[in-house]
Structure 1
Amino acid sequence: MKVLISFCLFIISLSTQAQGSISGNFSPAKDFKWVIAYELTPNGERYSTDAAVKDGFFNLKMPTTAQPGIYRLVYAVPQDEFYIDVIYNKKETVKFNFDLQHGLTIINSLENKWYNEYFSKITVAQDRLLEYYESGNESQKKYNAIISDLNSLQTTFEENNANTIAHKFIKANRSYIPKEFENLETFLKNKKQHHFDHLNINDPILQGSNFLTDKFGSYVFSALPIDITTKEQLTTEVNKNVKTAAELLKTTPSGFQIKAFYQLWKIAEANGMAEVQDYIFKNYLKKIAIADSNQKLVEEIEIASRLRIGAVSPDITWGTKDKKHSLLTMEKAEHYLLIFWSSTCSHCLKELPQLHKEINDIKDLKVIAVGLEDDDTNWKKVSATLPGFNHAIALGKWESEYAHIFGIQSTPTYFILDHEKRFIAKPDSDKEVVEILEN
């Protein structure tokens, strides 16, 4: 759950500073054990403090050195999925209730209420304008009412919340509003042209949050001509938008550039836009990540690119010096199953014999089982019990070449290839392997 609330950590008296805190209740209580606060900066997350969650209640005491800005409250792993982003203004004390089913309820904090109320109302008003266009409505009166409502909401919230952190977001979120009636095509062109008019992309607080990266993402993948009819046209237009975004990002810190381009790369990945992924990585993200000594990210993306659905699998070889076999040169089959396992892995020893039995009758299937091993002693014994598989060995286990090429982090790991040896599925279990192959 990703919600923006306000954080108050500091009460300033005439001559002393008191340590601020944030408290609240999580529900269901049994599902929460701890909470960690990170300051969000243009160059990434910076640890601030943490606290235990007892019977659903927590109380975070923030350092007096903590600065106003956006803080990320992480309550589970993976950390990039289970968090609440908060505004910390050093003026308010915040209490809230958070329920996994019903979401967030702020008990106090005017700034957060302003923020949440604004985005709730402006989103509804913007949706009304899009619904007007989509419905083919021709009522000038209704159109004018929608435009008036958008102007009134934006102006009111900007005027009432000046000099707050929330105001930075409210002002930056001001989108294009027509002064008079425009058809859909004209509206979308103008909306794209003015997308960045009010975005202060050099504001470190905005850079630290997800707000700016989301704005870049909406521009790149949504600010598109309405007459696109082919995948090639879509790719071309999206890449043009990436280039425009890259020009704007030049003035921002490298850490923020990496975050922004990586977000675009992930959106392209989620939408199966491999050409866009490659364009972003090769022209921008890889260069900036290397310059910033972020080799880990480069390797992560290179592995993901090698293994993405539709890509031809890297080669695997096995056999003796006199008789070598290769995945890419082996005889044709309708499907290929790659299994990465280990003879010392208890899950493997349980799953593989059963899988060997269940897929034995599946026609036109070839299986290559790669053992990630420290030595071949036990591997020889176990692999001999699975005669229906082609067996390769990768000495060095997790540090082996195949473990790196295929990004193996646990065993067993499965990949299913089509007749051209392209990835078509990455099953999570032996049962899923059988289900996919049988269907």
Structure 2
Amino acid sequence: MLLLVLALVLALTGVAYVFFTSPTKLKVAVGPAGSAEERLIHAFAQQLKAQKASLRLVTVPVHDVKEAADLLDRGKAELAIVRPDVKVPENGLTLAILRDVAAIVIVPAGSEVKDVASLAGKRLGVVSGHEADPAFVTTILRHYDLEPPVVTLVTLHRETAAAALKESKVDALALVAAPTGSLAQNTVREAAQAFGGAISILPVENPDGITHSSPFLDTLSIPEGIWGGRPKQPAHEVKTVGVAYRLMAHAETDRSTVSTLVEYLFQMRSRLAVKTRLANFMRAPEMDSSASATSAMLPNHPGAVDYFERETQSLMDRYGDWIYLAAFFGSGVISALAWFAQRMRQERHEVIDDVLDRLLDILADARRAETVEALDAFTAEVDDLFRTAVGHARSGRADSRTTSAVVLALDGARSAIDDRRRVIQAAGSDAQRRDGSGPRLVSTS
């Protein structure tokens, strides 16, 4: 009996050890294949395994976000990547926002279409990025009583979208994409190239009204110049409507497990960003307070709320003393470094200032020069100043604004020299003709 009891205790101990030390496995529904979300989840699963974390992810491939939401509703997966405008899982709670996609409407500059509300009777090309995008665009149009057939929707591929706008097959282009993603950047740049940069990004008037009537949508701002170009695109900040891709968990998923998962997700962000840029744009869901976070239209999982609130509170509790000591003893070192850096910048700026001052002097002196020899001397000096400026720019000792000023001064000095050279040479030619020293035509008749 003693041996049997001992064997039973050892067996129970072994079972308990395996149970408590084995990683918890969570199924996550994500798709379609090859999407940015799928790459992120695969990278996250690999990092959890490589770091021997207490959690493991088992990917459940699906065709689209609707199927992912269905699996979460039926309890076939504990996690899913969903898009609320397509389907909101009845039992799904938000853990994190993976990315935001926005409605981007492009028109040629000077078009009579000034905003989304003035698209009545026009042809709107919808760039195909997701099967739910036309419905998303229709939701926005419906707010202005512009749903088809008032506005004709034409489905386009990205490769042909700019050409269709250029050839007037459509009056405007609409796409639903992340402003920082390649789809938006490539489409906007191709449209800008087709019109020589003369395009406009239309704002969505009264976006808050749309989001109140369609609470699964969000009000977004597209920052000025986010797509670059010359001229910059967009020229001004643009208000629009968007929707977020969300990582959601089943409501019955263990609270502490969810908290640990969210902690791993954000702690591994830098490692995940090596595999996919999407990791750089992950963010916490909106939560003004615990009550609103769990009772909103799209509530957050209590485990996610626990992590985000605990992280905020425990940071100062854990490192507050060290932060105070570092601020106290490091202030002197920081001040010294700041003074040294300021001194170095001042010396660098003095050299560039000398170059700029001399270029301005040359610009003025060249206008008063009387001989070509004096202009040649100015040209040689401008070349020397140019080499000095290039040396500072290549070493990183001149910022972009200073470099631009030097370039303008160089162009001005060279232009003044060239203008004065032409004036002197023209005066010399006139003098030769008046003196009769110029070439003559001799008649042989």
Give the TM-score, by structure 2 length. 0.24
Bigger relative contact order, structure 1 or 2, given CA contacts below 8 A and separation 6+? 2
Give the TM-score, by structure 1 length. 0.24
Richer in helix (by share): 2
Richer in strand (by share): 1
